[in-house]
Amino acid sequence: MRKWTVPSALLLLCLLLLFSDQGRKLQANAEEDSEELVDPPKVEEKIGAVPNGLSTDSDVAKREAESISKKSLRNTAEKFEFQAEVSRLMDIIINSLYSNKDIFLRELISNASDALDKIRFLSLTDKEILGEGDNTKLEIQIKLDKEKRILSIRDRGIGMTKEDLIKNLGTIAKSGTSAFVEKMQTSGDLNLIGQFGVGFYSVYLVADYVEVISKHNEDKQYVWESKADGAFAISEDTWNEPLGRGTEIRLHLRDEAGEYLEESKLKELVKRYSEFINFPIYIWASKEVDVEVPADEDESSEEEESSESSSSEEETGDEDEEKKPKTKTIKETTYEWELLNDVKAIWLRNPKEVTDEEYTKFYHSLAKDFSDEKPFSWSHFTAEGDVEFKAVLFVPPKAPQDLYESYYNANKSNLKLYVRRVFISDEFDELLPKYLNFLKGLVDSDTLPLNVSREMLQQHSSLKTIKKKLIRKALDMIRRIADEDPDEFNDKDKKADVDKSTDNDEKRGQFAKFWNEFGKSIKLGIIEDATNRNRLAKLLRFESTKSDGKLTSLDQYISRMKSGQKDIFYLTGTNKEQLEKSPFLERLKKKNYEVIFFTDPVDEYLMQYLMDYEDKKFQNVSKEGLKLGKDSKDKELKESFKELTKWWKSSLASENVDDVKISNRLDNTPCVVVTSKYGWSANMERIMQSQTLSDASKQAYMRGKRVLEINPRHPIIKELRERVVKNPEDEGVKQTAQLMYQTALFESGFLLNDPKEFASRIYDSVKSSLDISQEAVVEEDEDAEEIEAESDSKESADTTEAGADADADIDLDDVKDEL
């Protein structure tokens, strides 16, 4: 222990007395002024200004002034009401019990990426638009402030003007707002919010107050703010740090959203949802480092004492040597920007090096579809030659809700177009035909020029070549789903071998699922794309009389065709159950012919374009021209029923019946009505009549002529022939023939022109079967007559009373005139 000398001790005592006296004076002054002190104004620090939580007096003074300025501006901010649909959406989100609140971050990062894409595209033709310094860094930054519970996401994208803030974040709802609200109310799936263009509002899953600070090159810096209370405010920003250009979103997190103040949680979400965003994503991350600092005086003293005691008897010859300062190593927290998405763009990599998991994650990021389902298939390829490009195409697991709404009027595209790694557009619908607009993907061309307008790109010669190759690859990709599905194999031995492999369990039934989602698109492709019609026809699936409730293909149908069968038989209608009972199938089933069932309304249009397949003609079994082989008795039957068919045709002259013939398609039914070969079927007539803007005059032309086919083996037809031969003028026979035609018309799928007349004939027939005279009338209802009489007397009384009131009114008017 160090020994104190007397002078040293006296000096120390004096110093202590001096400091004690000064302390008492300071305390006394503080007590005198205590009544004059007021609470200082609360300071809202700039997020991330002092990452380690320390601040200087100058920092406090500066932010105090900023807070006062901010407060006055907020009070004078321009207030707006949310549009009704946006308010509904926000109410759903705020009150949502949806467990996966993580989606808010991916939506904000996705929006930031879109803003960066836009400014980079504009910079292709205007190099100065990016500005200088940090503004040229196209990146996304994430910061958090645990003390204030603020999470901040910033980009250096195109930014928003004041009008943009009003339009995009409140008053003018996009079409997707209504669609998403409807989807939420039916399915409760909030995970698809980004697909409807309203992903920003997911911030209210975790925040109760949101600030959006934005600076556009053509406007001042503004702040948009809202507490999700049905209104928002916008004011010019004069207190925050100038952004230069871009947008910063500050989320004031709810109490229950504290997990999003953890760096590890944010890093995990970026890795999961935004790993393949095309711009660098940084987080202001903390880390501990070893730092050498001077040792404390007390520690140095103890070390010196220990050294003196151990070497008190030793003398050294180097006392003049300069002593090194004593230091120690401590852990210190520092902050720096940490890059989170350092994965190379998938489409630039070798397909053999990319895993299925990476493709799935890239699809989820690209399509903004973060369900647990994998895409049905994908195709990653590089095209070389005169036109070079790289592409990745995906078949989504689900069809979008609005896939076929306004199909021919809306320009929809799910492909992102890049030129030399620079994003150009995601609304470039010239890359794929409309019927393939359900595909998601990306195309990166090295051939297309960069510095041209969208209109010039549309006319570029390379575009047709790119489109042609994309269509071919897309159809190959879809066909591969069927080729890898064990349920699609024809060869039983091959199917048995595949069934033994557990690797194919995931692929079993995949094409049936694909068909249920996108089958209509394939049919539309057959209608629209004559070049690829045969390739698309191979992808057709349908049920038939021999498919046992499963889907089958045209190739499988042909493999089951009877020897000598030249045509592919099909029948159209509203549903399979109805078609299975159709009289048109009677003879076909009996002779073991397979018939395809087409039950989708688009099938009627489809079969107008798909005339044949593999040299086999298509034959609608509800139209004339059906050939089932020659019958040796045909001529004999025609001659035998010649008088009946001629008489019946003349009786139906007013019914648009072109002919009455002996049928080769009936077995148990007495008669059916078929249409001419090139006229509409009964199902097509029903579809066209249901069209709102249908033209009746054109329909009459397209209906074509109807043909009544009779079954010469049926007892009703035989009896009718006998009676016609005996007395062709018999009214009873005429009524029966008319009733049979209307019944056949109804059973064949046609709509009756006069249902009342048909019902009257049925009732007359019932009367005859019950031996009731056709002259019999319905008894009068006496009670009804009494009620009617009472009603008449009441009306008479009311009329009298009304007349009296009118007279009274007239008298009053006369009095007024006299006054």
pLDDT, one tens digit per residue, over 379-395 is 999 998 888 999 999 99
Q: Are 773 and 767 in contact (CB under 8 A)?
A: yes
Task: Consult the annotation and say whether 519 binds a ligand.
Answer: no
Residues 6 or more apart whose Cβ sits within 8 Å of residue 219: 161, 162
- Distance, in Å, from the CA atom of 78 to the CA atom of 101, rounded to the nearest integer, reads 31
Q: What is the mean pLDDT of residues 167-177?
A: 62
Q: What is the mean pLDDT of residues 109-136?
A: 88
Task: Consult the annotation and say whether 199 binds a ligand.
Answer: yes
> Where do the DSSP E strands lie in 50-168?
78-81, 140-145, 150-155
Task: Consult the annotation and say whether 454 binds a ligand.
Answer: yes
With a threshold of 0.85, does the pTM exceed it?
no
pLDDT of residue 656: 82
- Distance, in Å, from the CA atom of 641 to the CA atom of 18, rounded to the nearest integer, reads 139
Name the band, by pLDDT with cuts 50, 70 and 90, for residue 299.
Answer: low
For 103, other C-beta atoms within 10 Å of its C-beta total 22
pLDDT of residue 48: 38
Task: Consult the annotation and say whether 813 binds a ligand.
Answer: no
- Distance, in Å, from the CA atom of 816 to the CA atom of 819, rounded to the nearest integer, reads 5
Task: Consult the annotation and say whether 168 binds a ligand.
Answer: yes
pLDDT of residue 447: 83
pLDDT of residue 539: 96
Task: Consult the annotation and say whether 197 binds a ligand.
Answer: yes
Q: What is the mean pLDDT of residues 801-805?
A: 53
* Tokens encoding 368: 């903004």
Task: Consult the annotation and say whether 629 binds a ligand.
Answer: no
Name the band, by pLDDT with cuts 50, 70 and 90, for residue 805.
Answer: low
Residue recorded with tokens 């139906």 = 652
Q: Please list, residue by residue across 759-786, b when 16 or more beta carbons sit within 10 angstroms of its beta carbon and e when fewer do.
A: eebeebeeeeeeeeeeeeeeeeeeeeee
- Distance, in Å, from the CA atom of 406 to the CA atom of 46, rounded to the nearest integer, reads 48
Name the band, by pLDDT with cuts 50, 70 and 90, for residue 26.
Answer: very low
- Reduced to 3 states (helix: H, G, I; strand: E, B; else coil), residue 123 is helix
Q: Cα dihedral sign for 602, 607, 610, 612?
A: positive
Name the band, by pLDDT with cuts 50, 70 and 90, for residue 177.
Answer: low
pLDDT of residue 713: 93
> Which of 46-60, 501-515, 715-729 is predicted with the least confidence, judged by mean pLDDT?
46-60
Task: Consult the annotation and say whether 195 binds a ligand.
Answer: yes
- Residue 442, strand partner residues: 392, 416
> Which of 77-81, 397-401, 600-604, 670-674 is predicted with the least confidence, judged by mean pLDDT?
77-81
pLDDT of residue 424: 79
Amino acid letter, residue 231: A
For 674, other C-beta atoms within 10 Å of its C-beta total 27
pLDDT of residue 204: 87
Task: Consult the annotation and say whether 155 binds a ligand.
Answer: yes
Task: Give the model confidence (pLDDT) of 260-293 as tens digits.
Answer: 999 999 999 988 888 778 899 999 998 887 777 7
Residues 6 or more apart whose Cβ sits within 8 Å of residue 24: none
- Residue 612, strand partner residues: 617
Helix extents (H) in 500-551:
510-528, 533-537
784 vs 212 pLDDT, higher one: 212
Q: Check whether 813 has a pLDDT greater than 80.
A: no
Mean pLDDT of the chain: 80
Q: Check whether 760 has a pLDDT greater than 70.
A: yes
Q: Check whether 73 has a pLDDT greater than 60.
A: no
331 vs 160 pLDDT, higher one: 160
* Tokens encoding 120: 């980079």
pLDDT of residue 306: 53
Task: Consult the annotation and say whether 584 binds a ligand.
Answer: no
Share of the chain above pLDDT 90, in %: 42
pLDDT of residue 39: 37
Name the band, by pLDDT with cuts 50, 70 and 90, for residue 784.
Answer: low
Amino acid letter, residue 427: E
